[in-house]
Amino acid sequence: MKWKIGNTTLDVLPPVKRYMNAIERHLRVDRKTRVRIMTELASDFQSRRENGQSDEAIMQELGSPEEVAAEFNAALDDETVQPVSRWRWAFVALAAVILLARFILPELFLLQSHTSSIGVIGGADGPTAIFVSTETSSGLWEVLPWLLGCAAGFLAAGWCRRGSGKRYAVPFVLCLIGIVLQLFMVFVLQQMPGLLAGAYLLSQLTTSGVWLCLVVAIWTVWEWRHCKRSGKKN
Residue 48 found at the interface with other proteins (CB under 8 A): yes
Residue 125 found at the interface with other proteins (CB under 8 A): no
Residue 52 found at the interface with other proteins (CB under 8 A): no
| Least distance between other proteins and beta carbon 77 (Å) | 10
User: What is the rounded distance in angstroms from the CA atom of residue 77 to the CA atom of residue 61?
Assistant: 23
Of 67 and 107, CB closest to other proteins: 67
Q: H or E stretch including 120? A: strand 115-123
Q: How far is CA 98 from CA 70, 125, 145, in A?
A: 38, 42, 11
Of 46 and 115, CB closest to other proteins: 46
* Total count of residues recorded for the chain: 234
Q: Helix (H, G, I), strand (E, B), or coil: what is residue 158?
A: coil
Of 40 and 79, CB closest to other proteins: 40
31: closest CA among 60, 3, 6?
A: 6
Residue 75 found at the interface with other proteins (CB under 8 A): yes
User: What is the rounded distance in angstroms from the CA atom of residue 58 to the CA atom of residue 198?
Assistant: 62
Of 39 and 85, CB closest to other proteins: 39
Residue 7 found at the interface with other proteins (CB under 8 A): yes
User: What is the rounded distance in angstroms from the CA atom of residue 39 to the CA atom of residue 78?
Assistant: 20
Binding residues for other proteins (CB under 8 A): 2, 7-11, 33, 36-37, 39-44, 46-48, 62-63, 67-72, 74-76
